[in-house]
Amino acid sequence: MMELTRKGEYAIRGIIYLAQQPPGRVSLISEIAAAAEVPQSFLAKIFQSFAKLGLVTSARGTGGGFVLARPASVITLREVVEAVEGPIVPNRCLLGSACERGGEPCRAHAVWKQVQTEVVHILDDVTIESLARNRNLDEVTMESLARNR
Amino acid sequence: MMELTRKGEYAIRGIIYLAQQPPGRVSLISEIAAAAEVPQSFLAKIFQSFAKLGLVTSARGTGGGFVLARPASVITLREVVEAVEGPIVPNRCLLGSACERGGEPCRAHAVWKQVQTEVVHILDDVTIESLARNRNLDEVTMESLARNR
DNA sequence: TATAAGGAGATAAAATTGGTCCTAAAGGTG
DNA sequence: CACCTTTAGGACCAATTTTATCTCCTTATA
């Protein structure tokens, strides 16, 4: 349950690669795909989404390619995931008022709302910069644990 | 992203109905399906899973049907969801060591672990009894008013 | 005129959302 | 006891949707 698809996985791998490049360096989709080990044609569409949402800047033609549109420190994991997977919604009932049966929202409505809030909060607190940084995961874990009290 | 399927939705609706019955009362799958407004043939399979996992007790033949195997107060939402949707896993990489690339786990590994822990914790804290209970006093009030008329 | 992204499909495989039909168990009846 | 009805168990089927790619054509640009 609640699984990220390959699209989300590839999106993260791809944008982390971009974040690891020297600032301003332009990367080709072919280069990113090779480095992140993801299918190029698939990644191309993922980066189209990124560009449309203003996460990356794209340029066509010779010398074209992709660059982060903002510093990696102000791009959150949530933005990246939602860019390709859509909003984080543990149950459809959180979208339209689609869970109303007999005039009442579904019994678990408040629980799903809580799950959504929690997950969004976690992903909002993770920047692409922190993921791109070369450090051991223990440190990252300790940090987020500390933030969460 | 991270959506519960209809199977999970139906599972919750179905077991809540069971929890709302007088203790020991046996319910037929046809009855549960009608009350919860879910396809009977689909619900039958869901309850098979419940039975196999010991969430409900089933009996065949005349007088047969389903009863909760434990008090609703000690059945958690997590158990119900995992019974039909499988373990709560926001990313495949949390299962086998399938996210290793170049000897390293994926960059976001710790984040997914944290998400998993959080969600599991929330769902573990919700009992079917709490979901089955009448939520607001207004409803109860309206009901007894209607009865007294 | 290369080059590289944008965008519109096309497609195969897998998962979802059901349904059908037969079997097995349990109770009731003559 | 034999038999019939009832009700869950289980195997299998099928339509639809989603996932995961790929291909090809267009557009912008150095």
How confident is the model at residue B145, as a pLDDT? Answer: 36
pLDDT tens, residue by residue, A82-113: 999 999 999 887 887 667 777 788 899 999 99
pTM passes above 0.85: yes
How confident is the model at residue B92, as a pLDDT? Answer: 83
How confident is the model at residue B107, as a pLDDT? Answer: 92
- Say which range, A9-23, A50-64, A92-106, B118-132, has the weakest mean pLDDT: A92-106
B147 touching chain A per CB within 8 A: no
Q: CA B134, B140, B146: angle at the middle one, nearest 5?
A: 140
pLDDT band of residue B139 (cuts 50, 70, 90) is very low
* Positions of chain D reached by protein Cβ under 7 A: 5-10, 19-24, 27-30
pLDDT tens, residue by residue, A46-90: 999 999 999 999 999 999 999 999 999 999 999 999 999 999 999
Give the contacts of A139 (CB within 8 A, at least 6 positions apart). none
Q: Which of A85, A88, A90 sits opposite B4 (nearest CB)?
A: A90
Give the mean pLDDT of B123-143: 74
User: What radius of gyration do chain B's Cα atoms show?
Assistant: 19
Percent over 70 (pLDDT), chain A: 87
Q: Report yes or no: B105 and A17 within 8 Å, Cβ to Cβ.
A: no
Can you give the length of chain A in residues?
Answer: 149
At B22, the amino acid letter reads P
The reply to whether B93 has its C-beta less than 7 Å from any atom of strand D is no
CA distance A9 to A24: 24
pLDDT tens, residue by residue, B34-80: 999 999 999 999 999 999 999 999 999 999 999 999 999 999 999 99
CA distance A27 to A35: 11
How confident is the model at residue A124, as a pLDDT? Answer: 98
- Chain B residues 66-105 with CB within 8 Å of chain A: 77, 81-82, 85-92, 101, 105
How confident is the model at residue A70, as a pLDDT? Answer: 97
CA distance A22 to B117: 35
